[in-house]
Structure 1
Amino acid sequence: MMKKSEYDINKRFHLQIIESTISRMASNSFLIKGWSLTALGGLIALYVANQSKSWSYDLLLVCLGACILFWINDAYYLNLERCFRKLYASVASQTEEKIDFSMDHPCIKGGFRCALVQPVFLFSYGIILIIVLLMLYFLK
């Protein structure tokens, strides 16, 4: 039979594992935002610099697709981060005897769809998406 302090160590260790996973998801999301701004800004700048070329309109289509892909990828990591936060809360409320080091996170109602329409995404990717769509419509 394990002592009470050994259970405490197990619970703390399990919570640390979950915390590190949450940190990875948050840093992945941050990196995606940085790459998306760089890539989308570069594509739009390349379009502006080469507007007279026949292939420049295709850059806006690529930018549109890239914006949607970055948005989906970022929402995926936000959803995972939320699931692991829920797992953290669940493990934190468990008794030490029930700690099994499981990383099976519970699903969140609405999950990915709710993550897609978060204000942080609507104000970043949504604005870029609207700008690209307006450019596609008016500059054809």
Structure 2
Amino acid sequence: MNENKLKHLEFIQGVINRMGQNSFLLKGWAVTLGAGLFAFANTQEMDYRFILIALIPTIFFWLLDGYFLWQEKLFRKLYDHVRKKGEGEVIDFSMNVEPFVSETSSWIRTCLSNTLSLFYLPIIVIIIITIAFVCKY
């Protein structure tokens, strides 16, 4: 295999790994922040405003996680494109994923994928149920 091609694939794989790591960290922060705000609200006589605050970062983490997953998919398309290049083709070390946007589902559609929805929706539902419970009493 061409040395330039191998190096280009390594660069792309590095970006894919960072996107996956960022996604993992966001999930951890979403759970930690939500649990922390619940604990703080519990010490403050369960004021619904503290619980409501947990909803905002959870939604932002969901959107940001969707963005990282979308970018990861685009870089996987770029990786596949570079992988399929022939021995005689020029390797330009381009990291431009714009040509693959039309081949991949949109950012919002990625946010609503099963992978992310099954993680963030239960958190949001728990927050909403807790707010409704606190407001009731």
Asked if these proteins are the same fold (TM beyond 0.5), I'd say yes
- 1:51-81: CA deviations, max 9, x gaps? 25xxx22111210111101111111100110
How high is the TM-score relative to the length of structure 1?
Answer: 0.86
List, as ranges, runs of 4+ consecutive aligned residues in structure 1 with deviation greater than 4 Å. Answer: none
Report how many aligned residue pairs link the two structures: 131
What's the counterpart of residue 99 of structure 1?
A: 91
- Deviation for aligned residue 1:94: 1.3
What's the counterpart of residue 126 of structure 1?
A: 121
Give 3-state SS (helix, strand or coil) of 1:100's partner. coil
Matches within 5 A, 1:1-140: 8-51=2-45, 56-96=47-87, 97-105=89-97, 106-107=100-101, 108-140=103-135
Give 3-state SS (helix, strand or coil) of 1:103's partner. coil
The structure having more radius of gyration, on CA atoms, is 1
Cα RMSD after superposing both structures = 1.5
Identity %: 35
How high is the TM-score relative to the length of structure 2?
Answer: 0.88
Give 3-state SS (helix, strand or coil) of 2:93's partner. coil
Unaligned runs of 5+ in 1: none
> Is this contact kept in 1: 2:74–2:104, CA < 8 A?
no
Unaligned runs of 5+ in 2: none
